[in-house]
Structure 1
Amino acid sequence: MFQSRKDRQNELEMVTIEELVPEDHLLRKIDQYIDFSFIPEKVRSFYSEDNGRPSLDPVFYLR
């Protein structure tokens, strides 16, 4: 049977990376010592500036 919309309950839970990754996690230590600022320039030629959907920060993918 179909459910009516008024019978459904919608829930939304907001979490951040800070809440999900423990303070003593190895990735936090790596992030302290590696400067990822060189990545956008290295991958700039692979992104179109005027075509398609906006991209995510390439550093996001590598982290």
Structure 2
Amino acid sequence: MLSKREEERRNQLEVVALDELVPEDHLVRKIDQAIDFDFVYDLVKDHYSSNNGRPSVDPVVLIKMVLIQYLFGIRSMRQSIKEIETNVAYRWFIGYGFSEKIPHFSTLGKHYVVS
């Protein structure tokens, strides 16, 4: 019997936790369980002002974004951002929800400069 979906469900609102959508065996879950990224804050704290300037992008997020690019063989930072914008597991890994704007690719490029 041929079935046809009568209702368009693309715009349907649902309450779902991002965590529920990432498979338990996904590589980003394994990395998240194995590595405590808090050490990054100690490494970069001297490069950030505590009372001056604009709020920064979390340095752990920047590290995780580059890690995603490397681990999943994404060739450019622009493409990495596109992948992170649409991949639920990547968003979960960097700690961004569905509606949060992913940092611009140029933000990552500025941090590659060695001083």
Shared topology, TM-score over 0.5?
A: yes
Report the alpha carbon displacement of residue 19 of structure 1 after superposing the two structures with TM. 5.7
Matched residue type, 2:61: F
Hey, what does 1:27 align to over in structure 2?
28
Deviations 1:5-63 (A, max 9, x none): xxxxxxxxxx8653664332111101101111211011011112222111232112222
Determine whether 1:37 maps to 2:38: yes
Residue matched to 1:53: 54
Equivalent residue letter for 2:27: L
1:6 maps to: none
Stretches of structure 1 that go unaligned for 5 or more consecutive residues are 1-14
More displaced stretch, 17-26 vs 33-42:
17-26
Instruction: State the distance in 2 between where 1:16 and 1:48 align.
Output: 34
Runs (5+) with no aligned partner, structure 2: 1-15, 65-115
User: What secondary structure, in the 3-state scheme, does the structure 1 residue paired with 2:60 have?
Assistant: helix
Report percent identity of matched pairs.
Answer: 59
Q: TM-score, normalised by structure 2?
A: 0.35
CA RMSD, aligned part only?
2.6
Superposition TM-score, scaled by structure 1 size: 0.56
